[in-house]
Amino acid sequence: MSHAERPLTAMIDPVAGPPDCAAYERAGGWQATRTALRTLAPAEVVDIVTRSRLRGRGGAGFGTGQKWSFVPREPASERCKYLIANADEMEPGTFKDRWLMEGNPLQLVEGMLLAAYAIQAGHGIIFLRGEYHLARTRLHDAIAQARHGGWLGQDILGSGFSFDIHVHVSAGRYICGEETALLTALEGRRATPRSKPPFPQTGGLWGAPSVVNNVETLSNLPHIIANGPEWFAGLGIGPDGGTKIYGVSGRVRRPGAWELPIGTPLREIIEEHAGGMQPGYGLRALLPGGASTAFVDDTALDMAMDYASVEKAGSRLGTGMAIILDDRTCPVGMLRNLEHFFAQESCGWCTPCRDGLPWVERLLDAIEAGTGMAEDIDQLDRHARMLGTPGHTFCAHAPGAMAPLASGLKLFARDFADHIAGRGCPLRHAA
């Protein structure tokens, strides 16, 4: 792919490091800011992004322009509003935002500036995962350079619009991927989700209108404004616009991440870009969009990796970062590991999630250890249905946790039965 066909990563050079402000500008950076602040009204920026068909890249896939359209229209000078970049990235198997922040942080800074102008927010916050030390250093440096160059601060480009960015280092917790829990954490309180309405766009951080967007989502904005919505929409294959950073982890020859047209077939991602399976390993199943998505097996390899196609296959695109289950790894053990993570990351706010997820983990522990009983599988199925139904819990944490379990109980029914009959994991006994 040419640089124009992979706009998000074209300027990323792992040897040279991230571009400074001058190099970023020479490569076309800040062009979109000049265009927006000098020639476009905020509502026109919202319209351009809506027509580009950009959908949120954090997992939910909600239309970005549509999300912005719910924010009250008062100018930034008349009402306090916030634009927050969700850079917590705690979805297991996901590392795309880290790549973007470490490789080209100025792209995120400009994307935030454009989003803030569109919704007329005067304050920007990057909610950053605490373990991303290099990203933090490079973001601070990028923000300082942008301030020095007049791209952040008061009256940017003489437009009358003022905007600045603060980096908030997260104390952790997976639940902060839920936007209202993130807002609660920013306010210095326990990270628990909020009831909606009010939605963040009208009553978010400290009660002010707020928009939370993913790092990859925001990083697309300079390219959309600079090149136009038709150009961006044309980069995708199928109904969605733009490129997508896809990734693969597990027993493949070249685990990693690649920027590709959204809608690229799963088979191409695994076999061409990830190099296929390692010698001696076969692909049995995979989680197509991170740990909170449902398993699909090798019959789904030809599906397009876009939102509608993956949903049709019974899963979700999520973050687009696939986790491979090979034929020499115990699926029950993998599920036990996943549910351990989700159980410990429950915020504890609602009883079904707080008590149900640890119980699921205990049942899987027993089955893997050889003390499980046949009725435990029925209990797991009941929990998968009860906790996996939206509305039975306060937020989407438990339904996400149940996605791999519910699909795994169907795909790996024989493995569960063998664990019960053989009093433990057959793979461990064979070893």
Which domains are assigned to the chain?
A: 3-235 (3.40.50.11540), 243-326 (3.10.20.600), 331-430 (1.20.1440.230)
Q: What is the DSSP letter of 290?
A: B
**Vertex 293 angle, CA 290 and 297, to 5°:** 100
Q: What is the pLDDT of residue 430?
A: 58
pTM metric for this prediction: 0.94
- Rounded to whole angstroms, the Cα distance separating 175 from 106 reads 27
- Rounded Cα distance, 201 and 68, in Å: 8
Cβ contact 101:85 at 8 Å: no
Residues in the chain: 431
Q: Residue 172: which pLDDT band, with cuts at 50, 70 and 90?
A: confident
What pLDDT band is residue 238 in, cutting at 50, 70 and 90? confident
Place of tokens 């902060």: 176
Amino acid, single-letter form, for residue 107: Q
Average pLDDT over every residue of 98-116: 98
Tokens standing for 223? 């390219």
Q: In DSSP terms, which residues pair with 290 in a beta bridge? A: 288
Q: Which residues, in sequence order, are bridge partners of residue 39?
A: none
| Token pair belonging to 71 | 């924010």
Average pLDDT over the chain, rounded to whole?
94
Distance of alpha carbon 262 from its chain centroid, rounded?
15
299-310 residue pLDDT tens? 999 999 999 999
| Structure confidence at residue 4 as a pLDDT band (50, 70, 90) | low
- Calpha distance 75→57 (Å, rounded): 27
Where b means 16+ CB within 10 Å and e means fewer, 204-232 reads: bbeebbbbbbbbbbbbbbbbbbbbebebb
- pLDDT for 370-408, tens place per residue? 999 999 999 999 999 999 998 899 999 999 999 999 999
Q: Which of 218-222, 359-363, 373-377, 425-429 has the least mean pLDDT?
A: 425-429
Tokens of 353: 């999630």
22-38 average pLDDT score: 97
Rounded CA gap, 398 and 423, in Å?
29
The tokens for 213 are 């967007």
What Å distances lie between residue 40 and 33, 55, 358, CA to CA?
Answer: 10, 22, 52
The number of CA neighbours under 13 Å toward the Cβ of 169 is: 10
- Whether 239 shows a pLDDT value over 70: the answer reads yes
